[in-house]
Amino acid sequence: MVSFATVNRNGHPRVKPFSIVKVEEGKIYFFTGSFKELYKDLKANPNVEFSIQGKGKSIRVRGVIMFEENSEVVNKYLDENPGYRELYKERIEMLKLFYIKHGEVYIFNMKELFTKNIHFAFNLTE
């Protein structure tokens, strides 16, 4: 579970708990429903940031999302995460897969205050 931040259509920040569906080929995938406010917010402003902490590290990933249009990829992750099929049942066609296409990663060592932190940018090209 990560803390996932977006900006809503009124320009206000929103942070919510969110599950990562899959990390594969450098992409971090998430699901949301097209009937949700989050989906509408992401379509209006695709800039996001999420953070996760554990084992003395804090990781922040900031970037711009892209919706996955390849139905084979969407179905693959639905098959690997059957809970989404159960949760969305009759709304399964409204489930949208997205990933962070380009952005920046920050990794902080929280155990040692003055250690060098790691920062790098990424840009996924198809």
CATH of the domain at 42: 2.30.110.10
Domain assignment of residue 69, given as a range: 2-123
Number of folded domains that form the chain: 1
pLDDT at 126: 59
The full DSSP string for the chain is -EEEEEE-TTS-EEEEEE---EEETTEEEEEEETTSHHHHHHHH--EEEEEEEETTEEEEEEEEEEE---HHHHHHHHHH-HHHHHHHGGGGGGEEEEEEEEEEEEEEESSSTTSPPEEEEEE---
pLDDT values of the chain reduced to their tens digit, one per residue, 126 residues: 999 999 999 999 999 999 999 998 888 999 999 999 999 999 999 999 999 999 989 999 999 999 999 999 999 999 999 999 888 888 999 999 999 999 999 999 888 876 778 888 888 775
Rounded to two decimals, the pTM is: 0.87
